[in-house]
Homo-oligomer: A and B are copies of this chain.
Amino acid sequence: VLILALDTATEQGSLALVEDDRPLLEYTLSSAGTYLSRLLPAVAELLAAAGREPAELQAIGVSIGPGNFTGLRIGCATAKALAWSLNCPLVPVPAMEVLAAQLPFQAQPIGVVLDAKRNEAFWGLYRCPADRPQVLAEAVRLPLAELSGRLRPPLILTGFLESLIPLLSDAGILLAPPELRRPRAAILARLAGLRLAAGLTASPQQLVPTYLRPPL
């Protein structure tokens, strides 16, 4: 199965082309403010570099958040339009699972934090004892002031949370290295492949991101 995966849930976007379990190509794309003008050209470039045609795509995987509103809207709109036009399955994947899956074979829980702006954070708790994440606590939105109360060792902390790191200096908490704290679309594609096999697809006409907050 040839899967195109888009992750624009954070300010560091990622897109990848994965065939069966073989990652073919993967690009990062910064930042959220330029996704509208840069995401579709990057998709075209990725396919061209891999020598593939859009019609060969067999599924579109997309991060549904929570995360950056602008990024999620553009990523989901693009993925929905591609899946509808190419008549292939659309597979939504929770943003935090893409991050937790980057830390396999871990006995301790993995906490995922994303910046929700306005002094709030998105927070979810996972474990990844083998190569796929399990949900311990679904993503929620909470005030930054409540975040430190959630950080109890043993815990590995990850997420695109650069602005929050000064708040997260608890002893005994392991902070994932910076390059493992960003979403990777190649991982999203693998999780999308598992969901596709389980029939967990979405309607291109109806999918909405997980905002976890009323839109402005």
| Interface of A, helix, strand, loop or mixed by DSSP | mixed
One complex includes copies of this chain to the number of 2
Q: Which residues of the partner chain B approach A25 to less than 8 Å between Cβ atoms?
A: 28-30
22 residue pairs A–B, Cβ–Cβ below 8 Å: A22-B162, A22-B178, A23-B28, A23-B179, A23-B182, A24-B30, A25-B28, A25-B29, A25-B30, A26-B26, A26-B27, A30-B50, A101-B177, A103-B104, A103-B105, A105-B174, A177-B187, A177-B190, A179-B184, A179-B186, A179-B189, A179-B190
CA of A23 to CA of B23 in the docked complex: distance in angstroms? 20
Across the interface, name the chain B residue whose C-beta is closest to A188. B179
A side interface size, CB within 8 A: 36
Query: A25-B28, A26-B28 are contacts. A104–B186 as well, Cβ < 8 Å?
Result: no
A151 on interface, CB distance cutoff 8 Å: no
CA of A111 to CA of B75 in the docked complex: distance in angstroms? 37
Which residues from chain A sit less than 8 Å from chain B, CB to CB? Answer: 12, 18, 21-30, 50, 101-106, 108, 130-131, 156, 162, 174, 176-180, 182, 184, 186-187, 189-190
